[in-house]
A = this chain, B = another copy of it.
């Protein structure tokens, strides 16, 4: 465990950051205690209700944010209203785009969400002083690139059945689960959102869910609560190589 990492557990670290960093290691993990204290002067914790917008397509980005809780969807829209979700972000992902101030996508909360908002200038300054931080941001970008490309395969080449299974698999492996043999979670997206993520209509999503339920690949309660008894089985249905 290196020096930076040790700092994180130091008692001088701001309280907000502790609970945030306690997780899988967000971008702030690259900062020293000093830098963290400095940065936390400008950060504000915000709650955003489901459907709330972090920022709209084509708008200036005024702030970055670390997601503390909830799921954020990144969407693109065509002039005629057709919509595609191009990414999902989970805690403790970092959202926002360094260097380019305009974004071609909109970010909104899919569920009730809490974020740690960081004003653009504050983080930009910090990035220029901390190569470690930039490295982490770079790595997050590479990770998102991988995810985007994985999803391109799903969108371009999978059947509706495989798409829905792929979605469920994605959620199952990203929403932090109570570590148990049986995975159980609430779907963070409506059927409409799922459709927009998979390039399908809500009806098709619904029908495929029903089929997967009938075949006991998944178990559904209240339309939102999903239980998965056999993740490998789901992966297989999703067409993910095993």
Contacts and interface: CB of A to CB of B under 8 A. Distances in A.
Contacts of A131: 131, 134
A24 interface: no
Nearest to A80: B239
B199 A157 contact: yes
Nearest to A242: B79
Contact of A155 (B97, B99, B146, B152): B152
A241 B145 contact: no
A123 to B, nearest CB: 14
Nearest to A145: B145
A232 B146 CA distance: 32
Interface of A: 74, 76, 78-80, 82-84, 86-87, 97-100, 104-105, 131, 134-135, 137-139, 141-142, 144-146, 148-153, 155-158, 196, 198-199, 239, 241
